[in-house]
Amino acid sequence: MLRPRIIPCLLVKNGGLVKTVQFRDPKYVGDPINAVKIFNEKETDELMVLDIDATAEGAEPNFKRIAHLAVECRMPLCYGGGIKKVDQAKQIIGLGVEKVAISSAAIENPRLISMIAREIGSQSVVVVLDVRRQPMGTAYEVWTHNASRNTGKPVVAVAREAESLGAGEIVVNSIDNDGQMQGYDLALARTVREATSLPLTVLGGAGSLADIGALIRACGVVGAAAGSLFVFKGGYRAVLINYPGQAQKDGLIRDALRS
């Protein structure tokens, strides 16, 4: 039976773990491998690792780093960053990663979704949509290259196209809410949830477990991903890797689904 998942999202830049605010001003918060080891101990549902340098700089995935992460990681691992070719995706899956995430390449060449899905299976293909609300409006558009390029494409149209081409999951990431820790953009989450039947993960804005509960109440069975929530603690944002215990997590999900 499918159930909501609570997913730490780790951003990697120059080999280090960083956190951003609205995709800007990356703050170094530690070593990714050490973070993975801690999340192993906390029995995390799933882990998402995104290399934010690779696409922006036109670099290919760092296969050595990915192999190291895959060896250490004892939960399902999704990796994204710099994947532009089918062979790259196949190599990453061969290293022991469960899912590959594609973003800019999927927007620029949607056929890549189908090509990768044929080789590794739709269940392993995740399309990440970085989304910003239009100024003075309620429409959402997809941006690429670390939120530096506006595609002008509505998120609903892109999500539906990704589903039709064989994607196995959609991750919708709010640029506006990134790092704000003031809650998810629930309107955005509902919009994408209603547009596609694919498994959906929502990222951007979580500042408390209550925010995760609110997302689950709004969208039902969904992946609740967060970065700042799981690497910072307290109002001064002291760096501390954290994750809810099993009983706390089960209670949160149970209460949210009953509401």
* pLDDT reading at 6 higher than 80: yes
Active site residue 130: yes
For residues 189-209, average pLDDT: 97
For residues 104-118, average pLDDT: 97
Which tokens in the block code for residue 161?
A: 């196209």
* pLDDT reading at 56 higher than 80: no
Report the mean per-residue pLDDT for the chain.
Answer: 95
pLDDT number for residue 237 = 85
Pairing of strands 149-154, 140-144: antiparallel
pLDDT number for residue 133 = 94
Element housing 155 (H / E): helix 155-164
pTM of the model: 0.96
What proportion of the chain, given as a percentage, has pLDDT over 90?
A: 91
Pairing of strands 223-226, 200-203: parallel
Confidence of residue 248 (pLDDT cuts 50, 70, 90): very high
* pLDDT reading at 1 higher than 60: no
Domains of the chain by range and CATH? 5-258 (3.20.20.70)
Q: Which of 25, 31, 51, 130 is catalytic?
A: 130
Which tokens in the block code for residue 37?
A: 């080891």
Question: Per residue in 133-152, pLDDT tens?
Answer: 988 777 999 999 989 999 99
